[in-house]
Amino acid sequence: MENSYMAAVVALGTATPDREVLMEAYARNYGDNMGLPPDQILLAERICSKAGIGRKYLAIPFERYSEESPNDFPRLNKRLAWYEEEAVGLAEKAARQAIEEWGGLLYEITHIIVYSTSGALSPGLDLRLIKRLGLSSSTKHFWVAFNGCHAGIMGLRTAAEIARGAGPATRVLVVWVEINSCQAQSSDPASSPANNIVVASIFGDGSAAAIVAHPSYSTSASSSPPIPHLFEVQDATSDYIDGPESAEAIVARVRETGLYAGLSKQVPELIEAHVDAFSSGMLEDMQLTYNSVNWIVHPGGRAIVDAVQNGCHLQDNQLELSRKILNDYSNMGAPTIIFTLKLLHAEHVKCRKSLEWVFALAFGPGISMEGMILRLP
């Protein structure tokens, strides 16, 4: 009999650049190399001290900005060259970790989807990874750019829908990679200096990968043990916060000086006002409650996690995994929620104290909202 859930997440992989930066020294390093005046360096230090981030990992050190473009801020072509140098290898590292954890054969991977907002290449990362990983040349491939932080759940949802619909042999490799350090912005007088400092402070670099299979993957002959998998994808829902305030609250714009990311001060307020209705609606449909699920919220920043906690009236311990990933890695964009899911599974394996059900939640431009209900087998 066919399983009732959408798909099985059978492996997760994560990777960061080798360069670790402690936040206590980050603001000064950023400010000195970006040519910030003393008052804005002090602003950066205040932002970093309240960000809920202890460290982050960067592929592009800020020294490269001052060394390679001493008389002009790096243009888009330079930034995309930096992205190409770093993104392919980091994505490959996360993908190989997921493939190794899965233990299957490379030719069994039928689809690959790659998500990235911090840069773009042609040929895309999808085709480059097929070649570097040694996947079949007939692997169906997709390259999705400029989605934002909610692409972590979006990618799992899309992979689950493909796996469910394409048949029992389907194995979808999803890869997320962000090199946010190649898009750092200085205090451009034409934009908001505070916005650029906030974005540079909360974002880091990282990559994640998942292998998602048809539900029958977990079914074996009655005489054999179940085939192991990490999560069952039970349901997924998309929505957005409507209104003029939300439409431009989270944006990304490609400019001559690189990718400009805009974050309105109203984002936490808007999320706090709307997250309860979205979350409760999803959970009630599955006859679940806020206290019967593990909460996995994309740690887009301390204020975002606080907004979810306040809007849904959650206890501190319900969001401790999201806060831990934020502290240990920063907001890496879409890969971040996969890091959080991987941590939840590791904790579950170690102590088996986790609840059976998982509610994953992320936000992106629009303001888009992505929710997913999973189950730990």
Q: Each residue of 47-93: pLDDT tens digit?
A: 899 999 999 999 999 888 877 655 567 788 888 999 999 999 999 99
211 & 98 share domain: yes
Q: Which pLDDT value is given to residue 232? A: 94
> Which of 149, 182, 312, 351 is labelled catalytic?
149
338 & 370 share domain: yes
Mean pLDDT, 10 residues at a time, over the chain (377 residues)?
76 97 90 84 89 95 75 80 96 97 93 95 95 97 92 97 92 97 73 76 96 75 57 95 86 77 87 96 95 96 96 96 97 97 91 84 94 95
276 & 340 share domain: yes
241 & 194 share domain: no
The CATH number assigned to the domain holding 251 equals 3.40.47.10
Task: Express as a percent the part of the chain with pLDDT over 70.
Answer: 93
C-beta of residue 6 within 8 angstroms of C-beta of residue 160 = yes
Q: Which pLDDT value is given to residue 189? A: 52
341 & 200 share domain: no
Q: Which pLDDT value is given to residue 218? A: 55
28 & 88 share domain: yes
149 & 206 share domain: yes
Q: Which pLDDT value is given to residue 188? A: 58
264 & 322 share domain: yes
Reported as a single tens digit per residue, the pLDDT across 345-365 is: 998 888 766 689 999 999 999
Helical spans, DSSP H, in 167-266: 193-202, 244-247
144 & 83 share domain: yes
Query: Is 149 among the catalytic positions?
Result: yes
Domain that holds residue 254: 234-375
143 & 209 share domain: yes
87 & 165 share domain: yes
149 & 276 share domain: no
